[in-house]
Amino acid sequence: MSNVTEPAASHPFVPAAEGESRSPCPALNALANHGYLPHNGRNITAPQLIRALRQVYHVSLPFATLLSLGGTVWCGSGWRLDLEDLAKHDHIEHNASLTHADAPEGNIYAPIPVDKELLQDMLDTSETDYLTFDDLVKTRVQRDQTLVEPLNNTHTTISRGEVVLTVEALGDEEGRVPKDYIRQWFGEERLPEGWQRPKKTIGLLTTNKGVKQVGARGELFADAKKMD
């Protein structure tokens, strides 16, 4: 397997055309827009997902397998999926997404386009040109506080995991994520210019540890806000 240092440079960005399938997940949409997954976003197999996650984001084989099988089995059909299948509400997708509006009541699918206001709210968490782990946790807390009903345990873990994976995939050695990376990855669904494949493997154990840290830090921020 080729360990591409600058994935965006080796696979040029081509935005989705009308009728092509995309998901609420910026990581997978970027893989399709750069040709690491079928550009039309359709009929994608678990092995294709595993290969792309490992090659581009340096996800470990066990974790990439878990994510890919979870997506195809839970949301797809016959071990395959169209990216839009991942928008099925309350499967993997959940309310209070970092950058997507909630699913209207009764809808089977959640909105797929990025909510520009939510994206800007996340960027505004910091006055610097980057976001830290704590900045992203604060965004997670703010979105949780908009919920009419709390997320269940599974979706709470998934939502916190999204914070951890953003830092693991885009952050520097100190966990700082440039705002330009956030704008391009979340907002344009592309691999950021100048971004390099993470040096450290993104694994299940380290991600699970980060999920617990998101929960602990989030409780502190939520308590502090109540005292304001």
The DSSP result for 55-102, as a single string, is HHH-B-HHHHHHHHHHHHHHHSBTTEE-GGGGGBBTTTB-SS-SSSPP
- Three-state SS at 128: coil
| Ranges of H-type helices in the chain | 7-10, 26-33, 46-57, 61-75, 116-123, 133-144, 153-170, 179-182, 204-227
In the chain, the amino acid numbered 36 is Y
Query: Global pTM?
Result: 0.94
CATH number of 16-227: 1.10.489.10
Place of tokens 């806000």: 225
| Structural tokens at position 215 | 């929960």
- The angle at the Cα of 182, spanning 176 to 184, to the nearest 5 degrees, equals 140
What is the structure's pLDDT at 228? 61
Do 185 and 8 contact (CB within 8 A), yes or no? no
pLDDT in tens, 146-164: 999 999 999 999 999 999 9
Q: How far is CA 43 from the centre of its chain?
A: 21
Q: Per residue in 108-142, is it b (16+ CB within 10 Å) or e — as a string?
A: eebbbebbeebbeebbeebeeebbbbbbbbbbbbb
Percentage of the chain beyond pLDDT 90 is: 91
Q: How far apart are CA 31 and CA 49, in angstroms?
A: 9
Q: How far apart are CA 60 and CA 71, in angstroms?
A: 16
Q: Per residue in 160-186, is it b (16+ CB within 10 Å) or e — as a string?
A: bbbbbbbbbbbbeeebbbbbebbebbb
Question: pLDDT class for 74, splitting at 50, 70, 90?
Answer: very high
The CA-to-CA distance between both ends of the chain, in Å, stands at 52
What is the structure's pLDDT at 4? 66
| Statement: residue 2 has pLDDT above 80 | no
Question: pLDDT class for 220, splitting at 50, 70, 90?
Answer: very high
What is the structure's pLDDT at 3? 56
Q: Give the side-chain half-sphere CA count within 13 A for 182.
A: 28
pLDDT in tens, 17-51: 999 999 999 999 999 999 999 999 999 999 999 99
